[in-house]
Amino acid sequence: MTLALRLSAITHRHPCATGATLTDVDLDVWAGQMVAVLGPSGSGKTTLLRVAAGLESPESGEVLLDGVDVSGVPPERRDLTMMFQKPHLFPHLNVLDNVAFADRLRSRDRTSSRVAAQRYLDLVHLGGLGRRRPRQLSGGQEQRVSLARALAAQRRVMLLDEPFSSLDTGLRASMHRLMDEVRATLQPTIVMVTHDLGEAELADRVAVLVEGRIEQVDVIERLYAAPRTLAVARLVGGFNELPGRIEGGVHHSSFGSFPLPGEVESTGPSILVVRKERLELAPLGTSPTLTGLVVHVRQSGAHQDVVVALEHQGVAAGPRITVEVRLGSTLRPGDRTGVRLPGAHGLWAVADTESAGSATAQEEPGPRDRVSLRGA
Ligand SMILES: Nc1ncnc2c1ncn2[C@@H]1O[C@H](COP(=O)(O)OP(=O)(O)OP(=O)(O)O)[C@@H](O)[C@H]1O
């Protein structure tokens, strides 16, 4: 596989901003693949795309296209195209000529650029709308035309900045299906920024950006199963958190001692992060791992989330954990219940940097006071 785009050690600071917007960001994008940059609002996603496109200059670091440093190359001469949340179609051109525009810029003759544009319009299922003006299109159609135009430009890398976030749920789902089709047909190289986990699932790999730093680059399944940091776990969502400490591959807390999978190798303060769908409610008589009081039962999509305040020394004042129940629950708030944790293969732990930070003031933590992931 060829490395199409590499962002190497990018640090960026906006003029007048107090801190850096991006810090030491590395990102590799292989030809034909799609990488999603997932992060909360303000984490620096758009700035990262703008640096790649040459619309912002980083304080340090390099942007390489096919191995060539393009840091000094202006945006219009970089082999990249950008697609935004708003389509930005040319209002005075019809749909076909909007899509043919990049070819016309490359001095291709009108007829053959229109023939090529028609193929891209067919690909986005708007083959019959070539003669319309952009104002005669719906929002979803405009975004399809915008996608066709970006594809027709045939640039090395497409940079998509939350392109579907202004569409309603149904249209967004149909754009996601279209992206799958387009990727299967043309294998474009794509970097797409999004704050939507469902959208990130379209990509081959997801780079999680939090406060300007890449916290993890992984396939989506690993983000669900093995987040590297608490920030990643919280962004992905659906994790319960039990603070404690790891010693010898076992997580210890006032709620018990739980062996961790072999790849979690650490000592020190750490938080057991357990997915809500991996927990089970268990009757009290069956020696459950934990006990607690139901405080809330709510519908979550097709499932129910049962929120349980854990008991510690007979008082239900511990952390609240959520158990996802697929078949519905007869439990009601105020009921006492047991909860069973999965075996080691379903458990994961991340460094508790907040506790580790506060420990520094009282005691000097040892050099091994962090969670590291063997083989991750
Ligand atoms: N031109 C600018 N000057 C100063 N600060 C800026 C500028 N543009 C963005 N910022 C700041 O940089 C940070 C990152 O902004 P950016 O737009 O890259 O984040 P984002 O993750 O794309 O956010 P969103 O998802 O809300 O679009 C924010 O704190 C923002 O306020």
Residue 77 tokens, joined: 């001469």
Q: Do 207 and 259 lie in a common domain? A: no
* Mutation test residue for ligand 1: of 10, 11, 43, the one with most atoms within 8 Å of CB: 43
Residue 151 CB neighbour total at 10 angstroms: 22
* CATH number of the domain encompassing residue 151: 3.40.50.300
Which whole number is the average pLDDT over 8-32?
Answer: 95
Q: Do 41 and 151 lie in a common domain? A: yes
Residue 72 tokens, joined: 């000094």
Q: Do 98 and 174 lie in a common domain? A: yes
C-beta 195 within 6 A of ligand 1: yes
| Residues 64-120 pLDDT 10s | 999 999 998 999 999 999 998 888 899 999 999 999 998 887 778 889 999 999 999
Q: Which of 221, 248, 268 is the last residue before a domain boundary?
A: 221
Q: Do 29 and 124 lie in a common domain? A: yes
Residue 307 has pLDDT above 50, yes or no: yes
Q: Do 266 and 127 lie in a common domain? A: no
Q: What total of structural domains would you count in the chain?
A: 2
E-assigned strand segments in 96-219: 157-161, 190-194, 205-210, 213-218
| ipTM confidence score | 0.96
Which whole number is the average pLDDT over 37-41?
Answer: 96
Torsion-angle region of residue 44: left (phi > 0), alpha (psi -120 to 50) or beta? Answer: left
- pLDDT confidence bin for 240, thresholds 50/70/90: very high
Instruction: Give which of 210, 237, 219 is closest to 40, Cα–Cα.
Output: 210
Q: Do 250 and 191 lie in a common domain? A: no
Q: Which domain holds residue 291?
A: 238-353
* Mutation test residue for ligand 1: of 14, 160, 210, the one with most atoms within 8 Å of CB: 14
CA-proximal residue: ligand 1, atom 16 (nearest):
44
d(CA 212, CA 57): 15
Question: Is residue 204 classed as helix, strand or coil in its secondary structure?
Answer: coil
Instruction: Lowest mean pLDDT of 19-33, 63-77, 102-116, 359-373, name the range.
Output: 359-373
| Residues 150-192 pLDDT 10s | 999 999 999 999 988 888 888 889 989 999 999 999 999 999 9
- pLDDT confidence bin for 373, thresholds 50/70/90: very low
| Residue 210 vs residues 19, 44, 46, 85, 363: alpha-carbon distances, Å | 14, 8, 13, 21, 28
| pLDDT more than 90, % of the chain | 69
Residue 11 tokens, joined: 């640090």
32 in a domain, yes or no? Answer: yes
Instruction: Give which of 5, 71, 47 is closest to 212, Cα–Cα.
Output: 47
Residue 359 pLDDT: 35
Tell me the pairing of strands 264-266 and 371-373: antiparallel
358 in a domain, yes or no? Answer: no
Tell me the pairing of strands 80-83 and 157-161: parallel
Q: Do 211 and 248 lie in a common domain? A: no
228 in a domain, yes or no? Answer: no
Q: For residues 78 and 7, is the Cβ–Cβ distance under 8 A?
A: no
Q: Do 15 and 115 lie in a common domain? A: yes
Residue 1 pLDDT: 82
Q: Which of 187, 221, 255 is the last residue before a domain boundary?
A: 221
Higher model confidence: residue 316 or residue 180? 180
54 in a domain, yes or no? Answer: yes
Q: Do 181 and 91 lie in a common domain? A: yes
Q: Do 189 and 295 lie in a common domain? A: no
Instruction: Give which of 315, 321, 355, 370 is closest to 341, Cα–Cα.
Output: 321
34 in a domain, yes or no? Answer: yes
Nearest atom (ligand 1) to Cα of 47: 18
C-beta 333 within 6 A of ligand 1: no
Q: Do 167 and 48 lie in a common domain? A: yes
CA 117 to ligand 1 center in whole angstroms: 34
Helix or strand holding residue 250 (H, E): strand 250-253
| Residues 199-235 pLDDT 10s | 999 999 999 999 999 999 999 999 999 999 999 999 9
Residue 356 pLDDT: 52
Instruction: Give which of 85, 45, 21 is closest to 195, Cα–Cα.
Output: 45
Residue 355 pLDDT: 67
C-beta 21 within 6 A of ligand 1: yes
CA-proximal residue: ligand 1, atom 6 (nearest):
14
137 in a domain, yes or no? Answer: yes
* CATH number of the domain encompassing residue 307: 2.40.50.140
Instruction: Give which of 157, 204, 209, 213 is closest to 19, Cα–Cα.
Output: 213
d(CA 220, CA 272): 20
Higher model confidence: residue 366 or residue 320? 320
226 in a domain, yes or no? Answer: no
C-beta 212 within 6 A of ligand 1: no
Q: Do 156 and 256 lie in a common domain? A: no
227 in a domain, yes or no? Answer: no
